Amino acid sequence: MPELEQVLQEKLNSLKENNLLRTINNSDRSQGVYIERNGKKLISFCCNDYFGLAQNEYVIEAAISAAWQYGAGAGASRLITGNHPLYGILEKKLATIKNTEDCCIFGSGYLANIGIIPALVGKGDLIIADRLVHSCVYSGVKLSGAEYKRYAHNDLENLSNVLQKNRNKYSNCLIITETIFSMDGDKADINAISKIAKEFDCWLMTDDAHGFGMIESESKADIQMGTLSKGLGSYGGYVCASKIIIDYIKTSAKSLMYSTALPPSVIGAAIASLELIEENPDICKQPLEKARIFADIVGLKKPESAIVPLIIGGEDEVLKVFAQLEGEGFLVAAIRPPTVPKDTARLRFTFSVLHKDEDVRRLAEIVRGNFSPLSEGEEITD
């Protein structure tokens, strides 16, 4: 039998040859949208901290005072002794914002998805999800043991067809979509999907990781999950739903029951972020405005969120463009398979309230001058 290191070294070599190797780099993100990497100061267009809250003084102060009051760590799972009083305050706020009866906070969005889905459906049930949903939704689906089918991205006719063909073979059925798609930045039509869910007697779950604050909060879905780790600038996941659904999740989602509660500072920060958004709803509008300035100059279609993809195709091309932009002082995300489907490697630009318009324009001019995206409407097939 070969040594484990030998097996893995070969896999690493092959990933590297195919431009699919991932590495983790030091990123000193201590000054707004500026990142220091390898001694170089870059303007980041790849953080999910859309509203600049992660480094907001009020938010940081709230984290510090929560730590002084309740300690650095929670000490146990929420079901044992980890449920410090800040949880209740944040859950109440989130339920109010989402217009649901109740809410439950998880350790992260990832932990929420891998906990909620198996709690709701299992063997003999059907899950049908948009084919572009996040990797952790797939993990939740696998853990659930339910039968899994996907529908073409945002293609509701396809969703109806898949349901027409399959719905009656299963007892319960859960439809899952993102509100704003994480790698494409486009929006799902939740109203229309919710109608289809009713028509075929399905439950609907939405993942609002990138939609929070960005788009109007909808309450059409039975289960609305999201994260505190992106727009809210903190960490953690949540699910909002009716009291009975939440009661059941609390007593059955393993990633909640068997994982330590979040540190008080993290919840304190998220509460402060929500307060700031409530007081200044305008900060939530600006990332989208900046995305639109960028897309307009580059000649891309009008963005629906603060995420703008520039689909390039091949992995090597994307890495080349990434390096070129880094040379110009910009840090962007080079997204490659399997995060996105094959042949759709892309640059992913995210916009923050903290970006200066002049920097957005300069980046856009450079992108427009150098790179042409795949033409609009080009179909990517599996």
Ligand X SMILES: *Cc1c(COP(=O)(O)O)cnc(C)c1O
Per CB under 6 A, residues contacting ligand X are 108-110, 113, 134, 136, 178, 182, 207, 209-210, 227, 229, 237
Residue whose CB is less far from ligand X, 236 or 268? 236
What is the closest distance, in whole angstroms, from the C-beta atom of residue 140 to ligand X in the complex? 10
Rounded least distance, CB 210 to ligand X, Å? 6
Of 96, 97, 119, nearest in space to 106 by CA: 119
φ, ψ for residue 73, nearest 5 deg: -130, 165
Shortest distance (Å) from residue 108 CB to ligand X: 3
Min dist CB 312 to ligand X, Å, is 21
Nearer to ligand X, 207 or 222 (CB): 207
Dihedral sign of CA atoms 79, 115, 247, 84 in order: positive
Q: Contact 119/252 with Cβ under 8 angstroms?
A: yes
Least separation, in Å, of the C-beta of 361 and ligand X? Answer: 27
Q: Which SS3 state, helix, strand or coil, does residue 269 take?
A: helix
What tokens appear for 256 in the block? 């909640």
Output 49 or 222, the one with its CB closest to ligand X. Answer: 49
Least spacing, CB of residue 297 vs ligand X, in Å: 26
C-alpha R_g of the chain = 21
**Whose Cβ is closer to ligand X: residue 82's or residue 185's?**
185
Between CA 267 and CA 96 the distance in angstroms is 17
Q: What 3-state DSSP class applies to 50?
A: coil
Strand segments, DSSP code E, in 262-362 are 307-313, 330-331, 333-335, 345-350
Beta bridge partners of 356: none
CB of 192 to ligand X, least distance (A): 20
- CB of 278 vs ligand X, minimal distance in Å: 21
Minimum CB distance to ligand X, residue 167 (Å): 25
Cβ burial 83-118 (10 Å sphere, 16+ → b, else e): ebebbeebbebbbebbebebbbbbbbbbbbbbbbbb
Q: Is the separation of the CB atoms in 228 and 271 below 8 Å? A: no
User: Which DSSP category does 77 fall into?
Assistant: B
DSSP string of 116-161?
HHHHH--TT-EEEEETT--HHHHHHHHHHT-EEEEE-TT-HHHHHH
> Measured from the CB atom, is 111 or 295 closer to ligand X?
111
Q: Which residue has the tokens 């609305």?
A: 224
Picking from 25, 56, 28, 22, the residue whose alpha carbon sits closest to that of residue 42 is 28
The encoded tokens of residue 102 equal 């109740």
Residue nearest to ligand X (CB): 109
